């Protein structure tokens, strides 16, 4: 076969028909025509109505992975937000509980301070406000430490009161703090007066293991005492002002074989929870000196006057 007789046309398998440019122009014009026709005459509306129900399952299946991913993302996001919200709520609840406790404490302190101010107005002797710092470390005594001392003018033996009555007495004074022995301490005694009968006696710290009360000693079995009688300071010791509430009689034991009765009292002061107190100057500081204790200069002057006469 000569070279001139070879067929150079492509086989049918590789025939491409119209060129790519012509196809682009044709389908572009067709697209514009269909868009204009659909916009002006709604020609594709019936076709859409037929194809939409048929294509819905395909669209639903195609959207399921996206929905699953979105749901998982929303779940983890909401879980994280819930955890953070729970933490914030816990913090706010803790703060609110703290503030509520502080409000209750401030309300209680305000009430006690008001009572202290009312008690302070009833006293004719100078007083000083103080705060209880802590209980004494000795487990066999009932003492507290207050934040006032020698530098603030606290005197040894000064009575200490809270809003309910006599709390104790200053038994040791330091430059900045003072030690107060409570009325329930077994080593402290305080002269008292029965308001109902006017009988005077002495109340001692309860020597029982509890150490939370007072006891009237050396009171006869036939003494006119009743449960609930109010005991106040008698004022004859030169330390406590008269009329300060001390305790109430809680129990009376009269035994035939004993000459004296066992009389137990409950202190009115908050011996286990006092916080704000007032320190009162001893009454002895307000009492004028005895005539026999005049100053030496005065006695010399009087002797000279007598000699001149």
State how many domains the chain has. 2
Q: Are residues 140 and 262 in the same domain?
A: yes
Q: How confident is residue 40, by pLDDT bands cut at 50, 70 and 90?
A: confident
Between these two residues, 222 and 76, which has the higher pLDDT value? 222
Which domain range does residue 85 map to? 33-99
Q: What is the pLDDT of residue 45?
A: 78
Token readout for 71 is: 């749901």
Euclidean distance between CA atoms 29 and 103, whole angstroms = 82
Domain containing residue 231: CATH number: 2.40.10.350
Q: Are residues 158 and 50 in the same domain?
A: no
Contact 150, 158 (CB under 8 A): no
Domain assignment present for 39: yes
Q: What is the pLDDT of residue 92?
A: 76
pLDDT tens profile 276-287: 898 998 887 666
Euclidean distance between CA atoms 89 and 83, whole angstroms = 10
**% of the chain exceeding 90 in pLDDT:** 26
Query: Is residue 100 scored above 60 in pLDDT?
Result: yes
Query: Is residue 38 scored above 70 in pLDDT?
Result: yes
Domain assignment present for 113: no
Query: 52-56, 98-102, 200-204: lowest mean pLDDT where?
Result: 98-102
Domain assignment present for 236: yes
Encode burial over 58-90: b for 16+ CB neighbours within 10 A, e otherwise.
eeeeeeeeeeeeeeeeeeeeeeeeeeeeeeeee
Contact 131, 141 (CB under 8 A): no
Q: Are residues 280 and 179 in the same domain?
A: yes
Euclidean distance between CA atoms 48 and 54, whole angstroms = 10
Token readout for 75 is: 């779940």
Closest CA to 182 of 201, 162, 198, 202: 162
Q: Are residues 138 and 278 in the same domain?
A: yes
Query: Is residue 115 scored above 70 in pLDDT?
Result: no
Query: Is residue 251 scored above 80 in pLDDT?
Result: yes
pLDDT tens profile 77-97: 887 888 888 888 877 777 777
Match 């000279």 to its residue by tokens. Answer: 304
Q: Are residues 134 and 281 in the same domain?
A: yes
Domain assignment present for 60: yes
Among 1-15, 47-61, 125-139, name the most confident range.
Answer: 125-139
Q: How confident is residue 49, by pLDDT bands cut at 50, 70 and 90?
A: confident
Q: Are residues 37 and 175 in the same domain?
A: no
Q: Are residues 132 and 280 in the same domain?
A: yes
Q: What is the pLDDT of residue 50?
A: 76
Domain assignment present for 18: no
Q: Are residues 245 and 186 in the same domain?
A: yes
Section 207-235 average pLDDT: 83
CA dihedral 166, 268, 121, 191 (to 10 degrees): -40
Q: What is the pLDDT of residue 70?
A: 82
Query: Is residue 32 scored above 90 in pLDDT?
Result: no
Q: Are residues 137 and 261 in the same domain?
A: yes
Q: What is the pLDDT of residue 217?
A: 87
Contact 280, 161 (CB under 8 A): yes
Token readout for 185 is: 């301490």
Domain assignment present for 112: no
Global confidence as pTM:
0.58
Query: Is residue 160 scored above 90 in pLDDT?
Result: yes
Q: Are residues 42 and 171 in the same domain?
A: no
Helix (H) or strand (E) holding 19: none
Domain assignment present for 63: yes
Closest CA to 160 of 176, 174, 150, 148: 148
Helix (H) or strand (E) holding 152: none
Q: Are residues 281 and 136 in the same domain?
A: yes
Domain assignment present for 25: no
pLDDT tens profile 263-275: 999 999 988 888 8
Q: Are residues 149 and 280 in the same domain?
A: yes
Encode burial over 146-184: b for 16+ CB neighbours within 10 A, e otherwise.
bebbeebebbebbbbbbbbbbbbbbbebeeebbbbbbbb
């Amino acid at each position: 076969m000569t070279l001139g007789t070879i067929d150079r046309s492509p086989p049918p398998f590789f025939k491409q028909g119209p060129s790519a440019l012509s196809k682009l122009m044709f389908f572009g014009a067709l697209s514009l025509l269909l868009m204009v026709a659909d916009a002006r005459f709604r020609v594709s509306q019936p076709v859409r109505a037929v194809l939409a129900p048929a294509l819905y399952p395909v669209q639903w299946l195609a959207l399921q992975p996206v929905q699953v991913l979105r749901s998982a993302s929303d779940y983890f996001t909401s879980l994280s937000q819930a955890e953070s919200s729970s933490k914030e709520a816990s913090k706010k609840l803790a703060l609110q509980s703290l503030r509520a406790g502080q409000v209750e404490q401030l309300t209680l302190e305000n009430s006690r301070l008001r009572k202290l101010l009312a008690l302070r107005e009833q006293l004719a002797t100078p007083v000083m406000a103080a705060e209880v710092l802590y209980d004494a470390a000795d487990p066999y005594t009932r003492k507290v430490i207050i934040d006032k001392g020698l530098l603030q003018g606290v005197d040894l033996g000064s009575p200490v009161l809270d809003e309910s009555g006599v709390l104790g007495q200053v038994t040791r004074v330091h430059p900045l703090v003072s030690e107060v022995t409570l009325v329930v301490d077994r080593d402290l005694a305080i002269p008292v007066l029965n308001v109902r009968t006017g009988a005077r006696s002495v109340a001692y710290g309860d020597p029982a293991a509890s150490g939370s009360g007072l006891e009237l000693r050396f009171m006869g079995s036939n003494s006119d005492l009743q449960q609930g009688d109010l005991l106040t300071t008698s004022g004859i010791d030169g330390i406590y002002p008269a009329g300060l509430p001390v305790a109430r009689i809680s129990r009376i034991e009269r035994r035939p074989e004993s000459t004296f009765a066992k009389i137990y009292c409950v202190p009115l002061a908050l011996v286990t929870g006092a916080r704000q107190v007032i320190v009162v100057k001893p009454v002895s500081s307000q009492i004028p000196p005895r005539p026999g204790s005049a100053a030496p200069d005065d006695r010399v002057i009087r002797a000279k006057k007598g000699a001149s006469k």
